[in-house]
Amino acid sequence: MVSRIFKITRAGLAGGLALTAILCLIAGTMLAVLARADMLRGLGPSDWSAIRFTLLQSTLSALISVCFAIPLARALSRRNFPLRGVLITLMGAPFILPVMVAVLGLLAVFGRSGIINSTLVWVGLEPVSIYGLHGVVLAHVFFNLPLATRLILQGWQEIPGERFRLAASLGFSPRNVSRLLERPMLRSVLPGAFLVVFLVCLTSFAVALTMGGGPRATTIELAIYQAVRLDFDLAKAALLALVQFGLGVSAALLAMRFALPEAGLGAGFDRPERRWEAQRPALRIIDTGLIIFGALFLLLPLSMVVLNGLPGILNLPAEVWIAALRSLAVAMVAVAITLALALSISAFSVLHRRPFAGTLGMLGIAASPLVIGTGLFIIIHPIADPGRYALVVTALVNALMALPFALRALLPALSGAEANFGRLADGLGMKGWARMRHLWLPRLRRPLGFTAGLTAALSMGDLGVVTLFAAPDQATLPLQLYRLMGAYRMEDAAAAGLLLLGLSLTLFWLFDGGGHERA
């Protein structure tokens, strides 16, 4: 009995170490922030304005995304057309799309000299401005409309087909179907979808950095960056980091009260339901219009990135290529850290039946990258030049941000493998590395490949904590792209955007595909 309690397994040790590392990173940085925050000075008018703007843009982004997602999801749920599956798969792409690439694409479509405004001017209308609240919300909707659509579409697909058949045989009109079948489903799905988008937008940094227009459109994360990089006021940065952390935790707690929908990236949206009541020509036209609109909204900016980027890609300055190599290195390190952490925690959680371990690993989602970054900055700055640690810190924070998704993919797969083959492996005396090589890795190839691909793509495209740390000559590719835009070298910026897009997608495809091939 005693030996059973005190037996330290390798999984226990690794899991314990991984969890301690995460706790230290999050709690340690929060302590550093707490110690440094200037509580007495309190928040100034511009800080309150940043808090208001953060809440306002998150609410608006979530509302608009969800409102457009409902009809789009309904159209997708009841229409079949060529490439339907491709379109739905593509709707998962914004998740791994670098923010700076999306910004470039959106500027090309919605900017002053973009497609939309050129058309407006040509027709004789006033052009619309993309800066400030408009731009921030637009970019967030671009990222989250597809996410919300997929979440809501899942709700539709979960309504059993028999009910629609029954509705048809009872002669239900579209209104009846909506009232009796669709609305109850929406009532249970929408709050979760809204909160997911709200949470994502709450910690948005790069969008506000590029699309915000001055003090009126500053998020808390952006204010933290400004406090460090423009005013070098660490006490203010720490105070703002506390506010951001408080908001993140409150929103996450709120979200937990609702059943959050699973953001299943690969879940089977295989075929639409046959819907007898929706065969009317008017509804068909509306749905077709919605699907075309949704596809254009997603594809047009990305096509513009490719079109605008191609001419300059061969003449990219050396510093962009070097930045790309730096980003690749960061992404690889982030993948290694994420896999090590996620495997250790999953093994600990499954073998020792400690579900809380998985929950702890999800902590990263409440702490924002810039909050952790501020904490690390405050810890490192008195001892060493933070610029020297820019890349290490970026990889570490990227890994931490990818960890919740990694756990979500790995935990169920590992517990499945253990449930099916665990006793057999025990019987064969497979432990440690042998168990990992012969039982886990073959069973986990797909989720591991997916996790690695996701982490690599997220890390490759991340523009967040690196802005706090980077020295002038130590940029990652997204930061270099931002600097090119700041220096108004738009052709180089467009080409760098295409390079970034290509690298992120290739990394995801290589890792994820590698997992599929030999599975």
Residues that bind another protein (CB under 8 A): 44-46, 49-50, 111-113, 129, 131-132, 213-216, 218, 226, 228-232, 381, 384-387, 471-473, 483, 485-490
Closest alpha carbon to 164 in 151, 189, 181: 181
Report the C-alpha gap between 78 and 262 in whole angstroms. Answer: 21
Least CB distance from residue 113 to another protein, whole Å? 5
Contact call for residues 366 and 249 (beta carbons, < 8 A):
yes
CA angle 289, 294, 299 (to 5 degrees): 125
Least CB distance from residue 215 to another protein, whole Å? 4
Residue with smaller CB distance to another protein, 190 or 468: 468
Residue with smaller CB distance to another protein, 45 or 281: 45
Residue with smaller CB distance to another protein, 10 or 112: 112
Handedness of CA 349, 150, 57, 501 (dihedral sign): positive
* Lookup result for tokens 């379109």: 87
Closest alpha carbon to 519 in 447, 456, 454: 447
Least CB distance from residue 167 to another protein, whole Å? 51
Least CB distance from residue 385 to another protein, whole Å? 5
Name the strand (E) or helix (H) holding 402.
helix 390-427
Least CB distance from residue 239 to another protein, whole Å? 16
Residue with smaller CB distance to another protein, 131 or 258: 131
Least CB distance from residue 487 to another protein, whole Å? 5
Buried residues in 117-149 as b, exposed as e (16+ CB within 10 A): beeeeeeeeebeebbbbbbbbbbbbbbbbbbbb
Residue with smaller CB distance to another protein, 237 or 334: 237
Distances (CA, A) of 87 to 90, 146, 305, 316, 454: 5, 10, 19, 32, 19
Residue with smaller CB distance to another protein, 150 or 483: 483
Contact call for residues 95 and 144 (beta carbons, < 8 A):
no
Least CB distance from residue 495 to another protein, whole Å? 16
Residue with smaller CB distance to another protein, 301 or 386: 386
Report the C-alpha gap between 509 and 203 in whole angstroms. Answer: 27
